[in-house]
Copies of this chain bind each other. A is one copy, B any other.
């Protein structure tokens, strides 16, 4: 099953038979003080720089989130989307849990964007899915039901099923639904990683849909989070996750290596290309820092 996203001139195909798709996470002011300030100041140069840098480092799609206490997000979202569109040519992922903000972003996003996200709560299903359908977008569905995140893999499968059922009944093609099986921090619960891996396997077997995962939750509260995040994305990709909203700069090499090991990179062409491109970027960024 292929989820096809489009920008002005580019098409990104997400699928189990394709290399892992990286959705750059950096245009999100949560915990990013500098970006928050830039948005408050209306400084779109910094936004464009973040967009360009992520694509240079291998992001296939860019997530755009403008959540910030001092910002009117309905006003800000289209401004940021326009800025990002002017800087790069990759599909966008419009990120909010507020339907009005999503709509504001989708109205100006070009091609076929992704919506992040809907979940299995009635209110969300009723408000977000019609917008996705009207825009002809794809959507990420979080496995959350009315009682929160199910503790078991079977519970997450059921939550995924509810979203898929409602979305397809509304006329959204199943290939445009990407399920996020979610992961809790493994620091507090040593079964948290395994529950998610099992949920991925169940959802893949039952529905065959594409899946996305934000890996940083898994390492919350732990030191050396990179080791945990990269090992987890490798396990998740192996189980059936096909894309992730993540940091292309930190996790790109591990994801390209995982593609290679999973037989998705003939003659290691992508791996070698990634290494060459990022080697030059690493040098250029170090030189710029020094100067």
Contact = CB atoms under 8 A, between A and B. Distances in A.
Interface of A: 186-187, 190-191, 193-194, 218, 222-224, 227-228, 230-232, 234-235, 238, 253-254, 256-258, 260-268, 271-272, 275, 279
Contact of A234 (B186, B231, B268): B231
A267 B190 contact: yes
A228 B190 contact: no
Contact of A257 (B190, B227, B265, B267): B227
B194 A260 contact: no
A191 B261 CA distance: 8
A190 B17 CA distance: 13
Nearest to A268: B187
Contact of A227 (B194, B232, B253): B253
Contacts of A253: 224, 227
A224 B253 CA distance: 8
Given A190-B260, A224-B253, 20 more contacts: A186-B260, A186-B261, A190-B263, A190-B265, A191-B263, A193-B260, A193-B261, A193-B262, A218-B261, A222-B271, A227-B256, A227-B257, A228-B257, A228-B260, A231-B234, A231-B257, A231-B258, A232-B257, A234-B235, A235-B235
Nearest to A223: B275
A265 B267 CA distance: 37
A268 B253 CA distance: 26
B268 A186 contact: yes
**Most chain B beta carbons < 10 A, residue from A193, A194, A263:** A263
B263 A194 contact: yes
Contacts of A266: 190
Contacts of A187: 268
Contacts of A271: 222, 228
10 contacts: A190-B264, A222-B271, A223-B279, A224-B253, A228-B257, A228-B261, A232-B261, A234-B235, A235-B238, A235-B261
Nearest to A238: B235
A222 B268 contact: yes
A51 to B, nearest CB: 25
B268 A231 contact: no
Contacts of A272: 222-223
B238 A193 contact: no
Contacts of A279: 223
A227 B190 CA distance: 24
Contacts of A265: 190
A194 B262 contact: yes
Contacts of A231: 230-231, 234, 254, 257-258, 261
